Chain A
Amino acid sequence: MDEPQSWVRVGSSTLDDSDRALEEALDQLRLEHTPRLLIVLAAPRYPLEGLADELQQRVPGCEVIGCSTSGEIAPAGALTHALVLWALGGTEVRVSTGWGESREQGLRQAAAQAASCVERLERRKHTVMVLLSDGLGGDQMEVVRGAYDASGIDVPLVGGCAGDYLAMRQTRQLHGQRVMSGAVVAAAISSDRPLGVGVSHGWTPVSEPMLVTDSRDTVLRSLDDRPALEVYLEFFQPPQEVRDNPQAFADFAATHPIGLRRRDRIEMRHITGFDADSGSLLMIAEVPQGGLAFLTEGDFDSVLGAAAQSTEAAVAALEGTPPVGLLLFDCVSRRSVFSEARVQEETDLIAQCSGGIPMAGFYTYGEIARTRGSGGFHNQTLVTLAIG
């Protein structure tokens, strides 16, 4: 059979044994043609090194990037502790990939290095840059800035921060056979068929706006000149356990993020923890000092509704071209809002909105979507990439 202009296949497995899991996921891909790009989304229990070596043997001639996750998405819905492969191919699709480590050069430069793969790309009509970064590695705004430095205004950015099932210790990124931490990996995708991006979160401000009076990098020290932690706890009045137990606090904060006033929208910032001594909130990305912040809350329906909005926006951006596959970057804290009992409702809704096409994704520590302007780091958000 002739290869289609563009195609997406997804395979997944929850088998314990890494080799067998890869075998099962590859079987499900039912590859008829060599993919241009393979994205590996693996729960931390699967060793990325072994997967990378095996993929090199089994699917030669294909660009490979990937990362560790905090939950995975496959056509069957939301998974836990799974391995998911997202394969993209087609006669009209071109891909180049890159990587950069932040340890010595910083996040911005690492992201710029990874995204500079766009210079090697055989450019077609539509181009998008997929970024996978280390959400525990510093201010993720810098990842967007660095990738934007290299890719310019014509290339939308999408992506997410690798996870480790909320252990918050180490996440990993994969490029080819190179497995790293504190890194950014990128795949520039170009196609003659359209590529669409959708972004939505569904959170709403519940507090008065507050001036961010002291904030640097990922530490939010004060709001309206009062310790940020004090303001936060006073407003929400959570149970005592949330004040005493860091894990309980993290669970609570997952559904009570900070909202940032942007020009025509609210951008979300995820709270990862607190520092009781300084009364600070610890964030996944910078909350700019001088900015306006809100305390927000998500209710089940609005957050679920955002899933539909994100998917529909991505598909709509294809301007009539039917989508062949989706790649999803869904914030791990959204999963907390849905709870494990109802998490499938979100993935069912996404499948329904996109017509049941192959989809894959992962639960992230932060999402990237830059389609307009120069910023584009999000939290608590669903970012959807639709492949036309």
Chain B
Amino acid sequence: MVMQPSWSLHLLSEILAAFSTEDPENLRNVVNRVAESVEAEVAAILSDGTIRFCIGMTGDERQQLESLASSRPPQITIGAGRLNSYWAPLGEGNLLVVGRLGDTFDVEERSLLRAMARSIELSLRMLEAISAERQARLDASYQACHDALTDLPNRLLVLERLCRWTQQPPDDGACGTAVLFIDIDRFKWVNDAHGHAAGDELLVHVSRILQRSVRRDDLVGRLSGDEFIVITRTRKPEAASELAQRIITAIRRPIHVAGTELSHSASVGICLAQPGDTASLLIENADMAMYRAKALGRGRYALFQPSMREEARNRLALEEALRHAVGNGEIVCHLQPIVRLVDRQLVGFEALARWKHPQQGLLAPTAFIAAAEDSGLIEGIDLWMMEAACRALGRWQQLPGLEHLRLSVNLSARTLSAADLVQRIEPILAASGIAPSQLFLEITETSLVEDIQSTTSTIQGLRHLGLKLAIDDFGTGYSSLLYLKRFPVGLLKIDQSFVADLGSDPEDEAIAQAIVSLAGALGVSVVAEGVETETQEARLLELGSDYAQGHLYGPGLEIEATERLLIEPALPRSEPGPSLKAIDRS
């Protein structure tokens, strides 16, 4: 004979067992359990007339039930059904209500529903306390792996997820994992020019674009600064390139930041995961590909190739060697003479950096300037060159007949964008005694135009010092007339690529002619560079160019050699003036 214990006892036992202090959400299960145990169609917990948990009711029906909380009728209508109801008070302002089709709740069920009210009441309070504590814990753990500004997963979480993805083969037919490394081009100048608030706004804007560009299962994260990451499962490798292009196009759209319309772009490096790749290697590879995208001209994407690793190693080795060279005094200043075309009279020099490599001999700038720019060494090199050349020229200007000598020094885009450039040039000028009007800062038009927003204030500072700009390689880039008017440009240089074919290529001649005419109209001098033959010289004279430099007039020489071969012979012989040897060379 099977014993049949009291149903009510069992009911109480089953429902009380559903209470859990570990899982406050379990209160919802308690409501389910109550309803399932007494076979009720609906059950709800109400706090101050508002439903906290319920089952079996749609939105409208919930409202209807809430409106009955004060009258607590013995029957309620839910949907097409008229239910017998029982309302059990749960302490202050709280109610448990159950509704059942058919049978009413008998006295045993009613007394048990009331008996469990105290437990539910305690659970409600516990739920509130635990929920607050749990939320605090969740918040803390969320903050530990999310970026506070953009709310994106941070490096920690990105690495963790990527690690998991690389260890688990895709189960949805995707062929692999692709990592996209996204870097905002020239982000630094947004910060410098518009302030950090504007930079932050741009970062948030880009993070939203990335989130909108990817699928639900993809991961977008922020590694640091302006570096973002997208991890995506792809069915075909081209999908990653298409995604990169979509991202680039979306980011390129101008936005309004700090009251101005900001045009910006991003470079993207893509790395497709291979079996055995670790998470950090994938990010490193994608970073290298991004670097290539930047080198190719920014605002584009590049796919990682194993050869990039070799190139990166070489680049690092070069940077290391260059760092050593700078410290070791292997970077030397050469001065190339600039002459007046009509009479070949020496008017000044352009300072050119050379690397006196212990093994490879004298290296031209093309061999190391890119590495110097990437590593940031260029700022030091540029300013050291300026100091050395200014010091020499300052001495020479004190010699009779050489007061007119002027100097051109090159400034890279990176040096030009340094916020404290003006403050660093001022003491160089003061120490050398060189007149600011005789110092030309040579910059490429590309760096000037591309960074026009960031460099404007620096250039205005240079103008206040009395310095002028020489536009290097004019005609090869934007040839924008805007900056010629806007900035203190004193000199245009005709690029040697146009000079080379003078006399044979009508197009190059036309460009050279146009530059000379433009300079004439603006009252700016013209220097042709790379002049090697007398034919070129004759043609430049005909075109009306003012000055020239090139092998025809002499190569770049170290300061001492320049002094010996060009300065000393230029001193007037008839009247003994201060000789070079008498000038302080310290």
Binary interface profile of A, 305-339, with partner B (CB < 8 Å = 1, else 0)? 00000000000000000000000000000000000
Q: Which of B35, B38, B41, B101 has the most chain A CB within a 10 Å cutoff?
A: B41
Cβ contacts under 8 Å, A212 to chain B: 17
Structural contact, B101 and A211, CB atoms closer than 8 A: no
Bound complex: CA A208 to CA B36 (Å): 23
Structural contact, A373 and B41, CB atoms closer than 8 A: yes
Cβ contacts under 8 Å, A290 to chain B: 13-18
Is A372's beta carbon under 8 Å from chain B? yes
Structural contact, A152 and B57, CB atoms closer than 8 A: yes
Bound complex: CA A211 to CA B9 (Å): 11
Bound complex: CA A205 to CA B79 (Å): 37
Binary interface profile of B, 383-424, with partner A (CB < 8 Å = 1, else 0)? 000000000000000000000000000000000000000000
Structural contact, A209 and B3, CB atoms closer than 8 A: yes
Find A288's partner among B17, B40, B41, B83 (CB 8 Å cutoff): B17
B80 closest partner in A (C-beta): A154
From residue B396, how far is it (CB to closest CB) to chain A in Å? 76
A-B contact pairs, 19 of them (CB 8 A): A152-B56, A152-B78, A153-B56, A153-B79, A207-B2, A208-B2, A209-B4, A209-B5, A212-B17, A263-B7, A263-B11, A263-B38, A289-B17, A289-B18, A290-B16, A291-B10, A291-B17, A372-B41, A375-B39
From residue A361, how far is it (CB to closest CB) to chain B in Å? 26
Is B427's beta carbon under 8 Å from chain A? no
Structural contact, A373 and B35, CB atoms closer than 8 A: yes
A206-221 CB contacts (< 8 Å) to partner B: 206-209, 211-212
Bound complex: CA A205 to CA B1 (Å): 10
* A-to-B contact residues, CB < 8 Å: 145, 148-149, 152-154, 205-209, 211-212, 261-264, 288-292, 294, 372-375
Binary interface profile of B, 28-55, with partner A (CB < 8 Å = 1, else 0)? 0000110111111111000000000001
Q: Which of A262, A263, A375 has the most chain B CB within a 10 Å cutoff?
A: A263
From residue B283, how far is it (CB to closest CB) to chain A in Å? 25
Structural contact, B15 and A375, CB atoms closer than 8 A: no
Bound complex: CA A211 to CA B13 (Å): 9
Bound complex: CA A149 to CA B10 (Å): 26
Known: A152-B61, A152-B78, A372-B102. 6 other contacts (CB 8 A): A145-B55, A153-B42, A209-B4, A212-B17, A374-B35, A374-B40
Structural contact, B42 and A372, CB atoms closer than 8 A: no
Is B58's beta carbon under 8 Å from chain A? yes
Is B254's beta carbon under 8 Å from chain A? no
Is B100's beta carbon under 8 Å from chain A? yes
Is B73's beta carbon under 8 Å from chain A? no
Bound complex: CA A149 to CA B102 (Å): 21
From residue B5, how far is it (CB to closest CB) to chain A in Å? 6
Bound complex: CA A46 to CA B41 (Å): 40
Bound complex: CA A262 to CA B40 (Å): 12
Cβ contacts under 8 Å, A209 to chain B: 2-5
Query: Which 5 residue pairs of A and B lie closest in terms of their CB atoms, listed nearest first?
Result: A290-B17, A373-B39, A375-B36, A154-B79, A290-B14
Bound complex: CA A288 to CA B318 (Å): 70
From residue B532, how far is it (CB to closest CB) to chain A in Å? 70
Cβ contacts under 8 Å, B80 to chain A: 154
Bound complex: CA A372 to CA B36 (Å): 10
Structural contact, A292 and B5, CB atoms closer than 8 A: yes
Cβ contacts under 8 Å, A207 to chain B: 2
Cβ contacts under 8 Å, A375 to chain B: 35-36, 39
* B-to-A contact residues, CB < 8 Å: 2-5, 7, 10-11, 13-18, 32-33, 35-43, 55-58, 61, 78-81, 83, 100-102
From residue B173, how far is it (CB to closest CB) to chain A in Å? 11
Bound complex: CA A148 to CA B57 (Å): 9
B78 closest partner in A (C-beta): A153
Cβ contacts under 8 Å, B37 to chain A: 262-263
From residue A375, how far is it (CB to closest CB) to chain B in Å? 4
Cβ contacts under 8 Å, A208 to chain B: 2-3
From residue B96, how far is it (CB to closest CB) to chain A in Å? 15
Interface on chain B toward A: helix, strand, loop, or mixed SS? mixed
Whether A153 touches B81, Cβ cut-off 8 Å, given contacts A205-B2, A294-B2, A373-B35, is yes
Structural contact, B81 and A262, CB atoms closer than 8 A: no
Find A374's partner among B14, B15, B55, B79 (CB 8 Å cutoff): B55
Structural contact, B55 and A149, CB atoms closer than 8 A: yes
Bound complex: CA A289 to CA B26 (Å): 13
Bound complex: CA A154 to CA B39 (Å): 15
Find B14's partner among A154, A291, A372 (CB 8 Å cutoff): A291
Cβ contacts under 8 Å, A374 to chain B: 32, 35-36, 39-43, 55-56
Cβ contacts under 8 Å, A372 to chain B: 39, 41, 101-102
A288 closest partner in B (C-beta): B14
Structural contact, A288 and B2, CB atoms closer than 8 A: no
Bound complex: CA A206 to CA B3 (Å): 11
From residue A299, how far is it (CB to closest CB) to chain B in Å? 16
Bound complex: CA A145 to CA B42 (Å): 12
Bound complex: CA A205 to CA B10 (Å): 16
A377 closest partner in B (C-beta): B36
Structural contact, A373 and B36, CB atoms closer than 8 A: yes
Structural contact, A148 and B56, CB atoms closer than 8 A: yes
Whether A145 touches B32, Cβ cut-off 8 Å, given contacts A154-B81, A209-B3, is yes
Cβ contacts under 8 Å, B14 to chain A: 288-292
Structural contact, A153 and B17, CB atoms closer than 8 A: no
Bound complex: CA A373 to CA B5 (Å): 22
From residue B488, how far is it (CB to closest CB) to chain A in Å? 62
From residue A213, how far is it (CB to closest CB) to chain B in Å? 9
Cβ contacts under 8 Å, B15 to chain A: 290
Bound complex: CA A156 to CA B258 (Å): 59
Bound complex: CA A290 to CA B40 (Å): 19
Bound complex: CA A264 to CA B100 (Å): 14
Structural contact, A261 and B10, CB atoms closer than 8 A: yes
Cβ contacts under 8 Å, B57 to chain A: 152
Structural contact, B79 and A152, CB atoms closer than 8 A: yes
Cβ contacts under 8 Å, B40 to chain A: 373-374
A213 closest partner in B (C-beta): B17
From residue A147, how far is it (CB to closest CB) to chain B in Å? 11
Q: Which of A152, A209, A289 has the most chain B CB within a 10 Å cutoff?
A: A152
From residue B3, how far is it (CB to closest CB) to chain A in Å? 6
Cβ contacts under 8 Å, B33 to chain A: 288
From residue A11, how far is it (CB to closest CB) to chain B in Å? 31
B83 closest partner in A (C-beta): A153
Cβ contacts under 8 Å, B79 to chain A: 152-154
Bound complex: CA A18 to CA B61 (Å): 48
Bound complex: CA A264 to CA B43 (Å): 19
Bound complex: CA A207 to CA B61 (Å): 43
Bound complex: CA A289 to CA B100 (Å): 24
Bound complex: CA A167 to CA B136 (Å): 44
Bound complex: CA A374 to CA B18 (Å): 16
B102 closest partner in A (C-beta): A372
From residue A56, how far is it (CB to closest CB) to chain B in Å? 19
Bound complex: CA A184 to CA B7 (Å): 34
From residue B485, how far is it (CB to closest CB) to chain A in Å? 60
Find A262's partner among B13, B39, B56, B83 (CB 8 Å cutoff): B39
Structural contact, B41 and A153, CB atoms closer than 8 A: yes
B42 closest partner in A (C-beta): A153
Structural contact, A148 and B55, CB atoms closer than 8 A: yes
Cβ contacts under 8 Å, B43 to chain A: 374
Cβ contacts under 8 Å, A153 to chain B: 41-42, 56, 78-79, 81, 83, 101
Cβ contacts under 8 Å, A373 to chain B: 35-36, 38-41, 100
Bound complex: CA A372 to CA B81 (Å): 11
From residue A2, how far is it (CB to closest CB) to chain B in Å? 31
Q: Which of A153, A205, A291 has the most chain B CB within a 10 Å cutoff?
A: A153
Bound complex: CA A201 to CA B501 (Å): 99
Cβ contacts under 8 Å, B42 to chain A: 153, 374
A206 closest partner in B (C-beta): B2
Bound complex: CA A372 to CA B100 (Å): 9
Cβ contacts under 8 Å, A149 to chain B: 55
Bound complex: CA A148 to CA B79 (Å): 13
Bound complex: CA A183 to CA B38 (Å): 29
From residue A376, how far is it (CB to closest CB) to chain B in Å? 9
